[in-house]
């Protein structure tokens, strides 16, 4: 039978999972609003960000409650402190998806992305959603292997991000500086989104084992 | 007389202060390396980043120790959890200063910044150093007023950042897209540096009072 403590910890992890799902869904729709210059979807992502803040507040309150009332030690303590850090990461992922939607809204009805780079963002969006899903799975399974898959997806994101810059810096680039600025910032948002998902994976490994990936030598 | 607990908490806060100082110093020199295309200073900032990671690790260990051994409640608990979040913010400030130095190194011996925007970065650098110093002071004094000054400096940073974009997007911009990309990313590094300093201020207020700035209505 589960203790009240385990129930509360489980409930905290459920909120963290919801936060990852919300971040992934926001990034999926943020990318769609960007690729299709769809104002309605952009507005939806922007207005939903309050929900992320509510979840973050609830998660922090639960973590505080667990720390204060249960005075946990060792593994339990590690779990709760990691949870607090995961809240920050997932919250930040949501903020980055919000930034993407805001760029789409700012440029509407124009498309933000010239044809040459649209494919990069479609792929970065797909990877970002995948990373959010894997972060959630890592949380649920507490499996170090899931954390490793996150690192691999992040490498793919970094590659795309680098290639994107070579397209921008090509002499043939004819869409001007304003467009290059948008694309530079957008690229950075996707790259940072991936970084935070990776951090969630690493914190899960620490949560589950008390070790870093390097310690585990996996 | 101080308890062992207070000694340990004091020692933790001392490390956090050192982290803010180090971030400010790295950003001061990072900015100098950027403005003067000075490779030696850039290398110095880059190699010193290990020191920041060491401090972060030490701070996290101390915070964990306090949580595990002392089972603190209420105000003490708040202090330690806030400290853990401040570690992340200060660490990130150091990483952003590192990014600035890396851009300077990548472009050396060329100057990264055309004349028209150098003044913006000199000023953003000055503000960033100021913000790091005020974050440290807020930590030491635990004074909500210090946190408010951080918000004001951040507003000034945001203004500079916006103006910088108007310069980049001017039709007269003649330094090409590659240069605009560098400047866009650099601007973002300074802006995020300021955001993290502001977050430290907010966490100090919460640490000291259990309230947010909005709650305090200051």
DSSP string for residues in chain B: ---HHHHHHHHHHHHHHHHHHHHHHHHHHHHHHHHHT-HHHHHHHHHHHHHHHHHHHHHHHHHHHHHHHH---HHHHHHHHHHHHHHHHHHHHHHHHHHHHHHHHHHTTS-SS-HHHHHHHHHHHHHHHHHHHHHHHHHHH--HHHHHHHHHHHHHHHHHHHHHHHHHTSTT--SHHHHHHHHHHHHHHHHHHHHHHHHHHHHHHHHHHSS-HHHHT-
Per-residue pLDDT at A95: 98
CB of B110 within 8 A of CB of B172? no
Cα separation, A61 vs A59, whole angstroms: 5
Per-residue pLDDT at B68: 80
- Lowest mean pLDDT of A122-126, B74-78, B139-143, B180-184, name the range: B74-78
Cα separation, A41 vs A105, whole angstroms: 9
pLDDT exceeds cutoff 70 at B218: no
Cα A10 to Cα A3, A73, A79, B76, B177, distances in angstroms: 11, 17, 11, 25, 50
pLDDT exceeds cutoff 70 at B60: yes
- pLDDT band of residue B46 (cuts 50, 70, 90) is very high
pLDDT exceeds cutoff 90 at A171: no
Cα separation, B26 vs B128, whole angstroms: 10
- Whether A68 sits inside 8 A of B77 (CB atoms) is yes
CB of B134 within 8 A of CB of B201? yes
- Lowest mean pLDDT of B21-35, B60-74, B125-139, name the range: B60-74
Cα A76 to Cα A5, A66, B11, B52, distances in angstroms: 9, 10, 25, 28
Is A142 within 8 Å of chain B by CB? no
Per-residue pLDDT at A133: 96
Name the residue among A203, A198, A144, A150 with its Cα closest to residue A13.
A203
Per-residue pLDDT at B21: 98
Cα separation, A175 vs A177, whole angstroms: 7
CATH homologous superfamily of B4-216 equals Phosphate transport system protein phou homolog 2; domain 2 (1.20.58.220)
* pLDDT, tens digit (0-9, with 9 covering 90-100), for B81-122: 889 999 999 999 999 999 999 999 999 999 999 999 999 999
pLDDT exceeds cutoff 70 at A218: no
- Whether B77 sits inside 8 A of A88 (CB atoms) is no
Cα A192 to Cα A36, A195, A218, distances in angstroms: 23, 5, 24
What are the domain boundaries of chain A? 4-216
Best residue in B177, B178, B196, B203 for a mutation probing chain A (most A CBs within 10 Å): B177
Cα B171 to Cα A176, A178, B139, B166, B167, distances in angstroms: 9, 10, 45, 10, 9
State the DSSP code for A42. Answer: H
Q: Out of B68, B77, B180, name the one closest to residue A181 (CB).
A: B180
Per-residue pLDDT at A74: 67
- pLDDT band of residue A2 (cuts 50, 70, 90) is low
Cα separation, B130 vs A203, whole angstroms: 32
pLDDT exceeds cutoff 60 at A1: no
The 3-state DSSP class for residue A189 equals: helix
Per-residue pLDDT at B214: 74
Residues B121-147 have a mean pLDDT of: 94
- Whether B68 sits inside 8 A of A74 (CB atoms) is yes
The torsion of the CA quartet A123, A188, A20, A216, rounded to 10 degrees, works out to 90
Element (H, E) at A158: helix A144-168
Element (H, E) at A4: helix A4-36
CB of A23 within 8 A of CB of A29? no
* pLDDT, tens digit (0-9, with 9 covering 90-100), for A26-77: 999 999 999 999 999 999 999 999 999 999 999 999 998 888 877 777 677 8
Per-residue pLDDT at B162: 95
Per-residue pLDDT at B131: 97
Give the range with max mean pLDDT: A69-83, A204-218, B185-199. B185-199
Cα separation, A50 vs B35, whole angstroms: 40
Chain B residues close to A168, C-beta within 8 Å: 177-178, 181
Q: Rounded to a whole number, what is the distance in Å from the CA of A117 to chain B's nearest CA? A: 15
* Residue B6: CB atoms within 10 Å: 11
- pLDDT band of residue B144 (cuts 50, 70, 90) is confident
Chain B residues close to A177, C-beta within 8 Å: 168-169, 173, 177, 180
**Pick the residue with more confidence: A148 or A158?**
A158
- pLDDT band of residue B25 (cuts 50, 70, 90) is very high
Is A81 within 8 Å of chain B by CB? yes
Residues A8-21 have a mean pLDDT of: 93
Q: Which of residues 35-74 of A touch B (CB under 8 A)?
A: 63-64, 67-68, 71, 73-74
* Residue B145: CB atoms within 10 Å: 10
Chain B residues close to A81, C-beta within 8 Å: 63-64, 67, 81, 84
């Amino acid at each position: 039978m589960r203790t009240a403590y385990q129930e509360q910890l489980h409930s905290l992890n459920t909120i963290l999972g919801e936060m990852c799902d919300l971040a992934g869904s926001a990034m999926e729709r943020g990318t769609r609003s960007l690729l299709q210059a769809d104002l309605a979807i952009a507005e939806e992502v922007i207005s939903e960000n309050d929900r992320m803040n509510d979840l973050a507040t609830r998660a922090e309150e639960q973590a505080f409650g667990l720390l204060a009332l249960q005075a946990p030690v060792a593994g339990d303590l590690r779990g709760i402190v990691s949870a607090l850090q995961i809240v920050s990461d997932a919250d930040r992922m949501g903020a980055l998806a919000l930034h993407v939607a805001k760029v789409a809204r700012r440029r509407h009805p124009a498309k933000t992305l010239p044809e040459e780079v649209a494919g990069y963002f479609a792929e970065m969006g797909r990877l970002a959603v995948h990373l959010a899903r894997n972060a959630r799975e890592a949380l649920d399974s507490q499996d170090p292997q899931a954390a490793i898959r996150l690192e691999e997806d992040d490498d793919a994101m970094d590659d795309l991000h680098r290639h994107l810059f070579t397209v921008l810096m090509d002499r043939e680039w004819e869409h001007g500086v304003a467009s290059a600025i948008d694309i530079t910032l957008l690229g950075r948002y996707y790259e940072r989104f991936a970084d935070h998902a990776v951090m969630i994976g690493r914190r899960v490994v620490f949560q589950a084992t008390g070790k870093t990936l390097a310690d585990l030598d996996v």
